[in-house]
DNA sequence: ATTCTGACAGCAA
DNA sequence: TTTGCTGCCAGAA
């Protein structure tokens, strides 16, 4: 009796949960990229999926430091998905990052690769 | 079940 | 160097 799909949230949570878990492990003052997380999850190339998962992170009670995840160029591609367009930048600056033109200057220096650190 | 879309990444012009 | 197109995986309609 395989009665799945009755609760789709449960099945999807399986994959999303991994993204959340990794994202929550990002230390304060550190930053990573969608591709790095995707690669750590074993689904390299599905970086877009990571962003999709983080989009869902808004409706869960836990705090997910999604602002610490940017694209490979250090660009704040997901800033528009936060409350205000400047919220993501504000959060990063609050952690000591320097954001210029929607780009994290300290991206390479503060880069945190889960595949390497974990 | 099929099709479209997406908070990316990589490669070609 | 910058701009554009394709590939990727999974979820939502």
pLDDT in tens, A32-50: 999 999 999 989 889 999 9
What pLDDT is attached to residue A45?
A: 86
CB of residue A52 closer than 7 A to nucleic acid strand C?
A: yes
Q: Any atom of strand C under 7 A from CB of A71?
A: no
CA distances from A63 to A17, A20, A25, A57, A91 (A): 13, 9, 11, 8, 13
Q: What is the pLDDT of residue A13?
A: 59
pLDDT for position A2: 27
For residue A57, say whether its CB is under 7 Å from any atom of strand B.
Answer: yes
pLDDT at A15: 85
The Å distance, CA of A18 to C1' of B10, is 25
Q: Which CATH number fits domain A12-117: 3.40.50.10800, 1.10.620.20, 3.40.50.720, 1.10.10.10?
A: 1.10.10.10
Instruction: State which nucleotides on strand C lie below 7 Å from a protein beta carbon.
Output: 7-12
Which residues of chain A fall short of a pLDDT of 50? 1-12
pTM of the model as a whole: 0.88
Domain ranges of chain A: 12-117
Cβ of A48 near strand C (distance < 7 A): yes
Instruction: Give residue A118's pLDDT.
Output: 81
Whether the Cβ atoms of residue A50 and residue A69 lie closer than 8 Å to each other: yes
């Amino acid at each position: 009796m395989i009665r799945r799909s009755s609760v789709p949230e449960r099945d999807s949570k399986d994959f999303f949960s991994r993204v959340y878990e990794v994202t929550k492990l990002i230390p304060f003052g550190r930053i990573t990229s969608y591709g790095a997380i995707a690669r750590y999850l074993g689904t390299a190339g599905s970086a877009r999926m990571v962003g999709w998962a983080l989009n869902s992170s808004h409706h869960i009670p836990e705090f997910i430091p999604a602002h610490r995840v940017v694209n490979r160029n250090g660009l704040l591609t997901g800033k528009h998905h936060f409350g205000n367009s400047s919220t993501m930048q504000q959060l990063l600056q609050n952690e000591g990052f320097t954001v210029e033109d929607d780009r994290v200057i300290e991206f390479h220096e503060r880069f945190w690769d889960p595949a390497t650190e974990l």
